[in-house]
Chains A and B, each alone.
Chain A
Amino acid sequence: MVHEGRTNTPVRLLATKLRTRKAFLREGPSLHIVVPTLRCDHSCLYCQVSRRRVDEPGFEMSPKDALAAVDRILESDANHLTVEFQGGEPLLAFGTIRLMTEEIARRAATGRVTFSMTSTLHHLTPQIATFLAEHRFQISASLDGLSDIHDLNRPVPGGMSFQKTVQGVDLARQILGSGSVAAITTITRRALAYPEETVDTLVGMGFRSLFLRPISPFGFANRTARRTGYPVQDFLVFYRRALARILELNQGGMEIEEAYAAILLRHILTPFHSGYVDLRSPAGAGLSVLVYDYDGSVYASDEGRMLGAVGDRTFRMGSVQEPLPTLMTSSAIRELARGGIAEEQPGCRDCAFLPYCGADPVHHHAVQGDVAADRLSSDFCQRHTGLFGMLFTMLATSDEWTRDVLLGWATGQGHGVKHVAAR
């Protein structure tokens, strides 16, 4: 380190930078994912959750476990908590959502908890939407872009899967407001050839923040990898073209962002962390996220829960009936600690992108067999180094206007006044 004057001062400045970037460490779990049911009427090719049929009994969270989950959630000392319902299809267990939401709203300080839900919205009714609006839910709708690709990816009995989700989105927007409804788009092999069309379809439906994510190797996707999977490189090519299309739309005056790029850019261009739990070091799993499964199990992450569903209980922290301090000292947490600090992982510790990236020990356990496995050969690493390389190249070579749009994503400030004026 080269510096002028006292040594103490630059060390303190560095300490502040580190403390600012790792501020999430100062509090307990802030993201609480609840799986109220494993049932779902979709039979998606890449289903991440090993879903159960709608008529199968025995895959519901009991009211007793739901109320215990509320106790655990409120035991966390995080200033701000997010409670996210997913599934299965969470709306098939709306009674559990209502029970937990009302209990939390009754017991937590106003504004301390944000509720969210990831759903296909096929089962949304005006009554349910009104309840969600009262509790200011943020909704993520699973929408895979082009309608025929969506219908092939996400079949339902009777078909028209895309159409039904679009109707759900419209209803949710009417009652909750457009700002409360976002889309999550899973990119399957079929979509790889259509990045521009995928972006245009989502933007045409009124979404202003897109989240384009590759297929995950978990759940059924792993087994069907030969049918749906593809090399990381193919995703990066897709992503580059999608990003170019999004920037083109920005050039035309629309304010559209890609949410994952926004997360990475916030890490690159600002002193702050994005808050995104899957890209942290120390890892978010267990330390920042808890997952409450339908059967009363508590997992350190959603991926950990999926491993549990196929018989690997490494990341099961315990039962929802156990107090938080017991869960937080479980063997799952110790295993996560071993592979959860990127700064000491082989392949990560010398990486130029380390300050912006995360450790993701659960993923490396799943695909490489060890939380502390070599990162260089993992798809996680290849995807992220690819994305960082792409974004840094754009920051280095693109025009001032494009750089400013990317900065606006990083800071959440949208288009700058200069560029509104320039148009």
Chain B
Amino acid sequence: MSLPLHTFATLQGFGPHARLLKALSLREALKSSFPPPSVAVDLRDPGLGDVDPAALAGAGYGAVVGMPGHGAASAAAGLPLVHSLRRDDVVAPGDVVRVEPKGSRISVLYRRGANSNSLFVTERCNSLCLMCSQPPRPDDDGWRLDELIDLVGLIDPDLSMLGVTGGEPTLLGRGLTRLLEATRAKLPSTRLHILSNGRLFHDAQLVERMAAAVGRATWAIPLYADIARVHDHVVQAPEAFEETLEGIHNLAEHGHAIEVRFVAHALTVPRLQGLAEFIWRNLPFVEHVALMGLEPMGFTRRNRDVLWIDPAEAGKAVANAAEYLARRGMTVSIYNTPLCLLPKVAWPLARRSISDWKQDYAPECEPCSMRDGCSGFFSSADLSWRGKDIRPIRDHEVMTV
């Protein structure tokens, strides 16, 4: 079962405002270079023995994650305390959490060792994709930027890959420049993977402001068809197709690395083969093409009638397009598609792409030989989304050519 990103806890000694804290074991806290006021020392390990919260307060640490038994001493030392987490395993040493006194809510913004971590930049978006799994909201959420810049300073610097997502990150304009510059300063060896629709980059001046991403980021930009009419309909924005293509070219001409993304559903699958050819002929400079299955969240559920396609049919089309591109030397991945829906020749292209916290397997997967190498399903994909062709792959199928 996936591990959630939120839980509730009893908070003691916190002021009225939300705070970002880096949870660290005592041992790691003592030798770390994170600023002590942003570190919450995790005292939940019963083997730790008695640690005096007054000593931690004296060393300048910002808080303690502990047991109810730490209450009195923490209060005496003036050190904020988080205890009695509803799910204790949601927070572990190395994680960065937001502690919200209002509602006693703990949110994990960075999870050490997770298969993916992302900076959630904004809920606003300039497209309104029919299959958006995270529908945008128009509210001004500019407060996120400052928090993210703080967050970047608390992420483990040995992290290999960090996502940047939204909403549409480029709506932040110069704010995104600041964030990219912060990642370059604090996480110089971390690669960024930025999800953007690329539309605003039709303005080359905006591209120039993203110089801090050159050589260390990949812009992951969706293209849903080889023609404007279909692409613009899917993203519910006129002229999006042209803007995105101009944006991709502007980015490439400024030395940025680009990934093209595609989501398979009833509106996009019919032209997928044409799109593959379009990419090969027009965008052979992109470093990666990701062909993805639907995530049945947000608008996808609402628009099921227009989006639904038998997952096995989508899998076949995706495998054909992937093979077309891979055969021509392009780097291709198939995401969010279980192996049992793909012909075997496409298996080497399929990735375990779904973030831990929202990934699951079906009951049919129990005896499957390929389970460990399979994407499985989004937790949100109930029976009605999985199609009728899910089945366990047996040993002998794996062995035979």
Contacts and interface: CB of A to CB of B under 8 A. Distances in A.
B401 A4 contact: no
Interface stretch (B186-194, B238-246, B258-266): B238-246
Contacts of B242: 5-6, 8-9
B345 A271 contact: no
A416 B282 contact: no
Given A9-B246, A12-B245, A16-B249, A271 B284 contact: yes
> Chain B binding site: helix, strand, loop or mixed by DSSP?
helix
B280 interface: yes
Interface in B310-354: 323, 327-329, 344-345, 348
A17 B281 contact: yes
A416 B328 contact: no
Contacts of B345: 417-418, 421
B284 to A, nearest CB: 5
A416 B324 CA distance: 10
A13 B282 contact: yes
Interface residues of A, number: 23
A65 to B, nearest CB: 41
Contacts of A270: 284, 328
A271 B281 contact: yes
Interface residues of B, number: 22
Residue from B280, B284, B344, B348 having most chain A Cβ neighbours under 10 A: B284
A408 B241 CA distance: 32
Contacts of B239: 5-6
A20 interface: yes
A16 B245 CA distance: 12
B86 interface: no
A348 B146 CA distance: 62
A6 B348 CA distance: 39
Nearest to B284: A271
Interface string A397-423: 000000010011001110011100100
A413 B324 CA distance: 12
A153 B328 CA distance: 40
Contact of B245 (A13, A408, A411, A417): A13
Contacts of A407: 327-328
A20 B227 contact: no
Interface in A1-49: 4-6, 8-9, 12-13, 16-17, 20
Interface in B341-375: 344-345, 348
A272 interface: yes
Contact of A271 (B241, B246, B280, B344): B280
Most buried by B among A16, A20, A272, A407: A16
Contacts of B280: 271
A270 B280 CA distance: 8
Given A271-B284, A418-B345, A421-B401, A4 B329 contact: no
Given A6-B242, A12-B246, A416 B327 contact: yes
A298 to B, nearest CB: 35
B125 interface: no
Contact of B284 (A20, A408, A421): A20
A413 B330 CA distance: 11
B206 interface: no
Interface in B20-73: none
B229 interface: yes
9 contacts: A5-B228, A9-B242, A17-B281, A17-B282, A20-B285, A271-B281, A271-B282, A407-B328, A421-B401
Interface of A: 4-6, 8-9, 12-13, 16-17, 20, 270-272, 404, 407-408, 411-413, 416-418, 421
The 8 closest A-B pairs by CB, nearest first: A9-B242, A6-B242, A5-B228, A271-B284, A4-B228, A13-B282, A5-B242, A411-B329
Given A9-B242, A20-B284, A411-B328, 13 more contacts: A5-B241, A12-B246, A17-B282, A270-B284, A271-B281, A272-B284, A407-B327, A407-B328, A413-B329, A418-B323, A421-B344, A421-B345, A421-B401
